[in-house]
């Protein structure tokens, strides 16, 4: 009988925004309502949010709403401020990061030339903290040479620009200029304040459950939502990695991540093998079907023809194949979704498939695994104590996985 595994240890997961003092500036654009969601997400990540609204912003969003969701009441006044006679200096000096969302063409121009006419522009000029500017305006304004020139100048000065998206704008127009999503803005904050310990590292992640066709309509599938794989891709990208996500699901792509759409195990095998050979890190988070029909019907099988006989064959073991051809120095990570003997089954896969790390979870446990926004996992490495991650948001679990990958790459335990 093999010796028992060492007792698992628990890991505390800390967001790069935890405890950070973030000034959230809101200017007078129709997209000002999105700043409320940005504030909520920042606070949920552990940040202390200091909101500043311009006079124009108050035409679009009330101060009461933002004050309730931020960490302290909204500040609007450069003069007659009850907190301090020099609010811009105090706020600017105390900030770890300043985010302006939305940033109008007026704010961008004022910031570029140092026109300190209100509390927000004074704060921007009186800080040495990093600044993220999130423009939002109509397409014609966004594409105007003066705005483009102002943006270029701010970039040259080290200001981080979260470019607007294309889509539906105010008044029914469609084009570039829509404020980036709150998720993208918060991801930018995580990147700026995060460790950047995967800067320039090539990472390939798989996500979702494969679907093996029975006929033109029906498939053999599993219940994987792909959420954990997407969270890992997002976390890796936020830390500077160049991420490719091979996915079977239609979730929104994490900011800065290239998505390769596949459906079957064969398609995923082809996509992973073609990309894994040149990657520094490969994370196989997808749930690949173990079996597929030998012959899929070209059309739809009819009930009137009786119960069909479906002959199955095994699908390729993609992870084992990646392990057998793993180049020197590459970190290969697998997942083990189990319902019993969690650690023993995962330990066997860790060894058999030549993995550097395996993430095991009990998908029969409440709020764990498929379709949930939370997960609880055990991280196993060759020769190391298992590490238990208690029930947490999948992004927090992803952070723990990426932390361990960084430790493996740097040789730190």
Q: Are 159 and 133 in contact (CB under 8 A)?
A: yes
Cβ-Cβ contacts under 8 Å for 55 (sequence gap 6 or more): 28, 76, 118
Is residue 222 part of the annotated active site? The answer reads yes
CA-based radius of gyration for the chain: 25
Whose tokens are 């927090």? That residue is 396
Sign of the C-alpha dihedral computed for residues 41, 364, 222 and 388 taken in this order = positive
SS3 state at 375: strand
Alpha helices for 115-212 (secondary structure H): 119-125, 139-142, 145-156, 182-193
Token pair listed for 142: 């966004």
Q: Which residue in 410, 400, 396 sits closest to 45, CA to CA?
A: 396
- CA–CA gap between residue 312 and residue 292 (Å, rounded): 5
Residue 167's nearest CA partner among 198, 126, 192, 136 is 136
Question: Cα(94)–Cα(111) distance, rounded to whole angstroms?
Answer: 19
Tokens of 391: 């029930």
Nearest to 261 by CA among 271, 252, 273: 271
Q: How far is the CA of 39 from the CAs of 74, 237, 252, in angstroms? A: 12, 22, 21
- Find out whether 21 and 95 touch, Cβ atoms under 8 Å: yes
Nearest to 322 by CA among 255, 363, 256, 274: 274
Catalytic entry in 222, 345, 361, 403: 222
| Strand extents, DSSP E, 55-151 | 97-103, 131-135
Report the C-alpha gap between 364 and 360 in whole angstroms.
12
Other Cβ atoms less than 10 A from the Cβ of 392: the count is 16
Q: Are 235 and 398 in contact (CB under 8 A)?
A: yes
Residues designated as active site: 222
């Amino acid at each position: 009988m093999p010796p028992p595994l060492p007792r698992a240890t628990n890991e505390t997961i800390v967001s790069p925004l935890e405890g950070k003092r973030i000034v959230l500036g809101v200017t007078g654009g129709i997209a000002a309502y999105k700043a409320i969601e940005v504030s909520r997400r920042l606070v949920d990540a552990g940040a202390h949010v200091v909101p500043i609204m311009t006079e124009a912003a108050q035409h679009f969003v009330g101060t009461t709403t933002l004050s309730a969701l931020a960490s302290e009441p909204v500040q609007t006044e450069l003069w007659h401020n009850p907190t301090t006679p020099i609010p811009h200096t105090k706020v600017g000096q105390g900030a770890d990061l300043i985010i302006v969302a939305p940033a109008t063409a007026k704010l961008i121009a004022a910031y570029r030339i140092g026109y300190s006419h209100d509390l927000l522009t004074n704060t921007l000029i009186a800080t040495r903290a990093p600044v993220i500017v999130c423009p939002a305006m109509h397409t014609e304004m966004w594409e105007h040479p003066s705005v483009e020139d102002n943006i270029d100048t701010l970039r040259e000065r080290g200001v981080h620009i979260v470019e607007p998206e294309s889509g539906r704008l105010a008044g029914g127009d469609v084009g570039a200029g829509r404020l980036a999503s709150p998720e993208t803005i918060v991801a930018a904050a995580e990147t700026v304040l995060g460790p950047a310990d995967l800067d320039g590292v090539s990472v390939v992640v798989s996500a979702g459950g494969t679907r093996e066709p029975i006929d033109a309509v029906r498939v053999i599938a599993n219940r994987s939502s792909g959420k954990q794989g997407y969270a890992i891709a997002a976390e890796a990208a936020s830390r500077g990695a160049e991420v490719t996500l091979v996915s079977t699901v239609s979730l929104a792509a994490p900011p800065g991540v290239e998505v390769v759409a596949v459906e079957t195990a064969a398609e995923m095998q082809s996509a992973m093998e073609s990309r894994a050979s040149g990657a520094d890190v490969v994370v196989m988070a997808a749930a690949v079907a173990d079996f597929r029909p030998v012959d899929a019907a070209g059309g739809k099988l009819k009930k009137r023809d009786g119960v069909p006989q479906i002959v199955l064959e095994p699908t390729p073991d993609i992870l084992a194949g990646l392990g057998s051809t793993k180049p020197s120095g590459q970190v290969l990570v697998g997942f083990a979704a189990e319902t019993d003997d969690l650690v023993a089954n995962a330990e066997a896969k860790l060894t058999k498939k030549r993995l550097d790390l395996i993430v095991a979870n009990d998908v029969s446990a409440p709020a764990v695994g498929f379709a949930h926004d939370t997960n609880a996992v055990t991280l196993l490495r060759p020769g190391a104590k298992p590490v238990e991650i208690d029930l947490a948001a999948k992004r927090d679990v992803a952070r723990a996985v990426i932390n361990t990958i960084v430790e493996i790459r740097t040789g730190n335990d």
